[in-house]
């Protein structure tokens, strides 16, 4: 069922273009909520034969080829697995093996991203359509560097915070990222959002408050680091969106550009701030530790690459919806692996936060659905489900009625780009 929903959303915008091309090839002119002659009218008696033939031709062209569908399912599976396990794996490295070098681990993540992304770009496995590194303007390079600062700081603060707080608590704080994103875009950029998004912030804030009050092993230092990482995630989303939309940089290529300065910054910070005197020889550590570190580095790269693939094949909305499964998976793994206690107040906070996130991520779809329902409400009692604009030589009369399913879906499709 989940695969079918992903399939439909992934093929939605392509289906609309293919359908309109099929209609154009048969020389049938379709307009949103309007048509030019009686042959294209859809009334209570049913569609015309010509319209049926056109729709059948569009249906034959619809659908995703099996290889592309397998590619999508593989990307979603990799994204869910890595997104659910990467935080638990990092927490396992810190808690079980007492590896107290979160900045070093973050630097290793960036180094792995550089190596893997560079190999993919050189092997032309990633089709880089945007501008090249040599084509970047000075302004774009400054934006990439600022994004790198935010990117590495958010990762470093998150890993440092995991040293002090439970994984379940950190996940609940991370879910408040839309709150910071909304506040920054509204206060600093002056961007206005739908009232439904602001309404969704109430259960998110209330749920985060309940999670903090219900935390058994509350640590103030760890809480500050996790909140700082969450705020930086919101800033990073806005910076990345600006680069992807204004500079037209490929998302994987942007990840490669960010990883280079991020690695340098994190490596220097690890050398200066972390206690290297207590670091033992690599041969004195358990051999499984380095295996887990390697898995953590590869998992972080696969997670980012899978995110790019899922957004490319579907939309950012699908990625957000699937992200809720990651939150639930991390909570379950936290209970299973570390035995973290979730109080009743924490469970209520988690439920409130997830409900607010779902409302926020699907606000455009909810508004479009409400508008559609209002448009379908009969105004004149004629009983017709669909009406078009009928044009005559003498006058033009318009009767407000709902559009067809295909037209509404095309008009209400949501496309946005995030991290």
Is residue 105 in a domain?
Answer: yes
Q: What is the mean pLDDT of residues 173-186?
A: 79
Together in a domain, 330 and 391: no
* Domain-ending residue, one of 361, 382, 399: 361
Is residue 20 in a domain?
Answer: yes
Q: What is the pLDDT, as a whole number, of residue 265?
A: 92
* Domain-ending residue, one of 326, 344, 361: 361
Q: Which range is most confident: 84-93, 295-304, 381-390?
A: 295-304
Together in a domain, 211 and 311: yes
Together in a domain, 339 and 379: no
Together in a domain, 37 and 143: no
pLDDT at 70 over 90: no
More confident residue, 55 or 97: 97
Is residue 42 in a domain?
Answer: yes
Is residue 198 in a domain?
Answer: yes
Together in a domain, 214 and 267: yes
pLDDT category at 9 given cuts 50, 70, 90 is low
Together in a domain, 249 and 383: no
Please tell me the total count of domains within the chain. 2
Is residue 287 in a domain?
Answer: yes
Together in a domain, 226 and 352: yes
Together in a domain, 135 and 223: yes
Cα–Cα distance for residue pair 310/391, rounded to 1 Å: 44
Q: What is the pLDDT, as a whole number, of residue 318?
A: 62
Cα–Cα distance for residue pair 372/405, rounded to 1 Å: 10
Instruction: List Cα–Cα distances, 186 to 189, 196, 357, 411, in angstroms.
Output: 6, 14, 18, 26
Q: Which of 356, 131, 350 is nearest to 247 (CA)?
A: 131
Together in a domain, 20 and 150: no
Is residue 417 in a domain?
Answer: no
Greatest pairwise CA separation for the chain in angstroms: 92
Instruction: List Cα–Cα distances, 183 to 188, 193, 199, 227, 356, in angstroms.
Output: 8, 10, 13, 15, 15
Quote the pTM value.
Answer: 0.62
More confident residue, 257 or 328: 257
Is residue 195 in a domain?
Answer: yes
φ, ψ (nearest 5 deg) of residue 26:
-90, 5
Q: What is the pLDDT, as a whole number, of residue 340?
A: 65
* Domain-ending residue, one of 324, 344, 361: 361
Q: What is the mean pLDDT of residues 318-347?
A: 71
Angle between helix 102-122 and 66-95 (nearest 10): 160
Instruction: Return the structure tokens found at 380.
Output: 């004149």
Q: How many residues does the chain have?
A: 419
- pLDDT, tens digit, 9 for 90 and up, residues 114-170: 999 888 888 876 655 555 555 778 888 898 899 899 988 998 898 888 888 887 788
Percent of all residues in the chain with a pLDDT value above 70, rounded to a whole number: 64
**Helix and strand numbers, DSSP H then E, in the chain:** 15, 4
Q: At 390, is the secondary structure helix, strand, or coil?
A: strand
Together in a domain, 348 and 380: no
Cα–Cα distance for residue pair 146/29, rounded to 1 Å: 49
Together in a domain, 74 and 59: no
Is residue 419 in a domain?
Answer: no
For residues 354 and 175, the answer to whether their CB atoms sit within 8 Å is yes
Together in a domain, 129 and 224: yes
Q: What is the mean pLDDT of residues 4-9?
A: 52
Domain that holds residue 156: 66-361
């Amino acid at each position: 069922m989940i695969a079918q929903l992903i399939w439909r959303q992934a093929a939605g915008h392509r289906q609309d273009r293919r359908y309109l091309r099929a209609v154009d090839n048969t020389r049938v002119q379709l307009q949103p909520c309007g048509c030019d002659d009686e042959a294209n009218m859809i009334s209570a008696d049913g569609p015309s034969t010509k319209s049926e033939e056109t729709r059948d031709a569009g249906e034959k062209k619809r659908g995703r080829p099996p290889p592309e569908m397998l590619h999508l399912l593989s990307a979603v599976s990799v994204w869910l697995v890595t997104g659910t396990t990467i935080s638990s794996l990092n927490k396992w490295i810190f808690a079980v093996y007492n590896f107290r070098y979160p900045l070093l681990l973050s630097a290793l993540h960036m180094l792995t991203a550089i190596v893997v992304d560079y190999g993919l770009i050189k092997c032309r496995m990633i089709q880089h359509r945007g501008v090249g590194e040599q084509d970047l303007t000075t302004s774009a390079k400054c934006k990439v560097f600022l994004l790198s600062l935010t990117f590495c700081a958010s990762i470093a603060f998150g890993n440092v915070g995991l040293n002090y707080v439970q994984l379940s608590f950190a996940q609940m704080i991370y879910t408040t990222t839309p709150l910071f994103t909304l506040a920054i875009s509204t206060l600093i950029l002056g961007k206005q959002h739908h009232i439904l998004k602001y309404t969704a912030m109430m259960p998110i804030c209330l749920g985060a408050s309940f999670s903090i009050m219900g935390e058994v092993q509350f640590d103030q230092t760890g809480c500050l680091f996790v909140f700082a990482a969450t705020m930086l995630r919101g800033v990073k989303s806005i910076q990345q969106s600006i680069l992807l939309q204004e500079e037209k940089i490929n998302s994987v290529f942007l990840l490669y550009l960010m990883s280079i300065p991020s690695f340098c910054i994190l490596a220097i910070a690890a050398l200066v701030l972390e206690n290297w005197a207590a670091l033992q020889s690599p041969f004195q550590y358990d051999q499984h530790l380095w295996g887990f570190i390697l898995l953590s580095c590869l998992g972080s790269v696969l997670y980012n690459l899978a995110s790019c693939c899922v957004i490319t094949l579907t939309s950012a909305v699908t990625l957000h919806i699937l992200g809720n499964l990651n939150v639930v998976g991390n909570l379950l793994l936290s209970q299973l692996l570390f035995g973290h206690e979730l109080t009743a107040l924490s469970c209520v906070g988690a439920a409130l936060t997830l409900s607010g996130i779902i409302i926020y991520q699907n606000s455009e779809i909810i508004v479009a659905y409400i508008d559609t329902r209002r448009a379908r409400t009969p105004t004149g009692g004629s009983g017709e489900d669909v009406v078009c604009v009928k044009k005559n030589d003498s006058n033009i009369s318009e009767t407000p009625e709902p559009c067809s399913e295909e037209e509404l879906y095309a008009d209400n499709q949501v496309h946005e780009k995030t991290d």
